[in-house]
Amino acid sequence: MTPRHQPSCQVLNVRDNLMMIDCGEGAQLAVRRMKLKLMRLNHIFISHLHGDHCFGLPGLVSTMALLNRTNSLTIHTFKDGAELFGQMLDYFCRERPFEVRFNIIDTHKRIIHEDDAMTVSTFPLVHRVPAVGFVFREKPKLRHIIGEEIQRLNIPHYAMNSLRQGEDWIAPDGTVIPNEQLTTPADPAISYAYCSDTKFSKRVIKYVEGVDWLYHEATYEESLRLKAHKRYHSTALEAATVARDAGVKQLIIGHFSKRYLDEIPLLEEALSVFPNTRLANEGQIIDLNQLEF
Amino acid sequence: MTPRHQPSCQVLNVRDNLMMIDCGEGAQLAVRRMKLKLMRLNHIFISHLHGDHCFGLPGLVSTMALLNRTNSLTIHTFKDGAELFGQMLDYFCRERPFEVRFNIIDTHKRIIHEDDAMTVSTFPLVHRVPAVGFVFREKPKLRHIIGEEIQRLNIPHYAMNSLRQGEDWIAPDGTVIPNEQLTTPADPAISYAYCSDTKFSKRVIKYVEGVDWLYHEATYEESLRLKAHKRYHSTALEAATVARDAGVKQLIIGHFSKRYLDEIPLLEEALSVFPNTRLANEGQIIDLNQLEF
C-alpha cells in the first residue's frame, strides 16, 4: 500500500453478479465508495497470499455480516489462506448470518467455478509464493429475437428459447423458417484474464491466448528489468509482450511500484509493443463490452 | 468502517515516541498520509478484539517490514488477539527484520507499560466482548534552568540535573540557594484517557478521574439511548457526563454511528453537559499541551 495507490482489488460485474479479484486492505471501503452492491458479491478470488492481495478479507466479510446478508460467499484461495482467514472470520464474524465457503485452489490450470453465465479458471503464475492468474469466460450468449417477425409469423411463445439458441422454426405446416430470419446475432461472449503478481513468463502467454481483455501487472520500467525479475515482477514492456504474443484485444496494466509518481512512461513503454494498452487506476470503471480495436 | 469515517486509530506523540491506540483497517494508510514516522512507533494498544479496532495490524506490520525497521514493536492485546495476529504475522511477515512482541493484557486495572517518560494503564470497559480503556500519564517533567542565574552564581554543570529535579543549590561556602531562584516550574505532565467502545458506566468515571484529556466514544444521540445500551455503546450526553463527573479538563468525542451525516447535534448534546468538548475527526491533530479552560 502506498499513499498513491490502494492495494490490489478488482470487481467484475457479469450480468449484475459481482466477482472480486484479490481483496487488499481497504477493499470494503473502495467497494462502498463506488456504491457496488455487496449483496450481489458472491465470489472472491485470491491470486496469492501476499498481504496486499488479501488483507481486506476480514473487514469486507465483517461489513457483509452487518448488512444482514444471507446468501453464501465463496472465497477461492490456497489452503493456507482458507485456514488463516477461516480462523479470523470464525473469531471476528462468529455471528454472521451467512455461510462463508472456502474453495481450495492450487497452481494447476483448471476450472474452479462455473455457473449459467461463465467459467472461471486458474493457471500458474511465477512469483515468490504460489500464485495463479484467472481467466473469466462468459458462456455463449443467446441470440436476439426480432419481435416483428415473430408477430407476423405468429410464432408461439414457447418457441422463443430454442430460437434464441439458434434453432430454425418449423411451422405446423412443415415450412422451415431459418433462424437468421427470426433473430439477430448474440452479443459476443467476453473473456478477461488477470495476471498479478508474476515474473514475465512465456507460459503465461499460452494460458491467456486469445482473451479479449488482459490485466497484467507492470510493476517496473524496462530499465529495472533486472530488479523486476529478482522480485518476481514484470516490466510494462513485458506485460505488453504477453498481450501481443497472446493475441489479446485489450491490455490493462497496473500494480505499479510506488517509485512512480507518474505512470505515463510505463504506459509509453507498453504502447511501443502493444497499442491497445491502458493504465489501471483506483476507482476506474471499464465496460468490457466496449472493445476498441 | 463507513464511507464517511475510518475505523478507529489514534496515535499519541510523547516526546517524539509514537504510540498507536487501536489499529482499524486502513491505519497504515492514514499514518503514512499524515507523514508520521513509522520507525518511531514502538507500541500499539488494542482496546478490544472487534475488527474495526484491529484489522489494520497485519498491513501496518507488513509495511513496517518493508521499511527495514529493526527496533522491536510491542502489541498490547488480549490473549486471543496475540494468537490470531501472531499467526497472521508469522505467515505474512515471516521475513521481517524486527521482533514483534505481544504483551498480553486483561481487563484488570493495571500498569501495562512504563518508560522514562510515562506509564500506560488499563481499566475495564463495558462492551459485548472484553474491552479496556487506557490511561496514558506522563511522568513529572523536569524544571527549567534559568541560564543567567546559573552563570551569575557560577554553578557547575554537574549540578543541573538535581536542580531540574527541584533540589536547592548548596554553594561550596555552605550558602543555600533555593531552587525557585534557579529554575522555573516544569511543564505540566499531561494525562490522556481513551474509552472506546463502552456502554456508559459509573465505574469508568472513577478510572478516568482527573485526567487532562478524555477521549470517549459517543456512538449515538440521546434519543437512541436504548439502542446505545443494547449495543454496549454510549450516547454523546453520557460521554459528557463521564467527563463532567470525572472532572477532566477536555473531552473529545468520536466513534459516531454511520447514521450521522452531521455530528453537530451530538456535539451540542455533549456541550450541554460539558462545555470543553470537541469532535474527533479523521486526520485531526490535537496538541495536548494546549488545554483551553
Catalytic residue among A16, A22, A52, A80: A52
Q: Which residue of A has its CA nearest to B6?
A: A29
- DSSP three-state, residue B16: coil
Residues B293 and B206 reside in one and the same domain: yes
Q: Where are any strands of DSSP class E within chain A?
A: 9-14, 17-23, 41-45, 73-77, 100-104, 110-114, 118-124, 132-138, 144-145, 169-170, 176-177, 183-184, 191-195, 213-217, 250-254, 277-279
What digits encode the pLDDT tens for the residues A246-275? Answer: 999 999 999 999 899 999 999 999 999 999
- Cβ–Cβ of B84/A80 closer than 8 Å? no
Question: Are B187 and B141 within 8 A, CB to CB?
Answer: yes
Percent of chain A at pLDDT > 70 equals 98
Last residue of a domain, one of A183, A210, A235: A183
A6 and A20 part of one domain: yes
| pLDDT at position A292 | 64
Question: Which residue in B has a C-alpha nearest to residue A53's C-alpha?
Answer: B59
* Residue B215: predicted pLDDT: 97
Residue B149: CB atoms within 10 Å: 15
CA distance A238 to chain B (A): 25
- Which A residues 178-197 touch B at CB under 8 Å? none
For residue A7, which residues of chain B lie inside 8 Å, CB to CB?
Answer: 59
Residues with Cβ within 8 Å of residue A284, at least 6 apart in sequence: none
Residues A216 and A293 in one domain: yes
A49, A59, A84: residue with CB nearest B1: A59
Nearest CA in chain A to B80: A91
A218: domain range? 109-141+187-293
Q: Do A125 and A237 lie in a common domain?
A: yes
A119 with A4, same domain? no
pLDDT of residue A10: 95
- Which chain B residue has its CA at the smallest distance from A54's CA? B59
- Cα torsion A236, A239, A243, A245: sign: positive
Based on the structure, what is the number of domains in chain B?
3
ipTM score above 0.90: no
* Domain-ending residue, one of B57, B90, B105: B105
Q: What is the pLDDT of residue B4?
A: 62
CA distances from A119 to A29, A116, A216 (A): 28, 9, 20
Clarify whether residues A137 and A148 are in a common domain: no
Question: Is residue A244 classed as helix, strand or coil in its secondary structure?
Answer: helix
Which positions in chain B touch A52 (Cβ < 8 Å)? Answer: 62
What confidence score (pLDDT) does residue A40 get?
Answer: 95
pLDDT at A3 over 80: no
Residue A163 has pLDDT above 90, yes or no: yes
The answer on A274 and A131 residing in a single domain is: yes
pLDDT tens per residue, range B205-254: 999 999 999 999 999 999 999 999 999 999 999 999 999 999 999 999 99
Same domain, B125 and B205: yes
CB-CB neighbors (< 8 A) of B51 in chain A: 58-59, 62, 92-93
Predicted confidence at residue B2, as pLDDT, reads 44
Same domain, B19 and B68: yes
Residues B130 and B71 reside in one and the same domain: no
For residue A188, give every residue at least 6 positions away whose Cβ sits within 8 Å of its Cβ, in sequence order, or none.
A141, A212, A289
Distance CA A224, CA B195 (A): 49
In the predicted structure, residue A109 carries a pLDDT above the cut 90: yes
pLDDT interval class at A4 (50, 70, 90)? low
- Rounded CA-CA distance B182/B167 in Å is 10
Tell me the chain A residues in contact with residue B58 when contact means C-beta distances shorter than 8 Å: 51, 55
Active site amino acids of B: 52
State whether B49 and A3 contact (CB < 8 Å): no
Give the mutation candidate from B22, B25, B78 for the A interface (greatest A CB count, under 10 A).
B25
* Yes or no, beta carbons of B1 and A33 under 8 Å apart: no
A197 is catalytic: no
Residues B82 and B112 in one domain: no
Which pLDDT score is estimated for A267?
A: 97
- Express each pLDDT in A193-216 by its tens digit: 999 999 999 999 999 999 999 999
The answer to whether the Cβ–Cβ distance between A2 and B84 falls below 8 Å is: no
* CATH number, domain with residue A278: 3.60.15.10
DSSP code at position B131 = B
Please check whether residue A281 touches B, CB under 8 A: no
Ramachandran quadrant class, B22 (left: phi over 0; alpha: psi -120 to 50; beta: rest): left
Query: Residues A200, A228: one domain?
Result: yes
Q: What is the Cα–Cα distance from A10 to A34, expressed in whole angstroms?
A: 12
Domain stop point among B128, B161, B184: B184
Higher pLDDT, A3 or B213: B213
C-alpha span between A159 and A118 (Å, rounded)? 24
Q: How confident is the model at residue B278, as a pLDDT?
A: 95
For chain A, what is the mean pLDDT? 94
Cell of A204: 503465461
Amino acid at A224: L
Residue B114 in grid coordinates:
512504563
- Greatest CA separation for chain B: 73
Q: Is A36 on the interface with B (CB under 8 A)?
A: no
A133: pLDDT confidence band, cut at 50, 70 and 90?
very high
pLDDT number for residue A177 = 94
- pLDDT tens per residue, range A43-82: 999 999 999 999 999 999 999 998 889 999 999 999 999 9
| Grid cell 478507529 in the structure block, residue | B8
Q: Which residue ranges of chain B lie beneath pLDDT 70?
A: 1-4, 292-293
> How large is the average pLDDT for residues A276-286?
92
Grid cell listed for B85: 495476529
Residue A265 to residue B185: CA distance in whole angstroms: 59
Residue A1 pLDDT class (50, 70, 90 cuts):
very low
Q: Are A3 and B80 inside 8 Å of each other by CB?
A: no
Residue B271, Cα to own-chain centre: how many angstroms?
Answer: 22
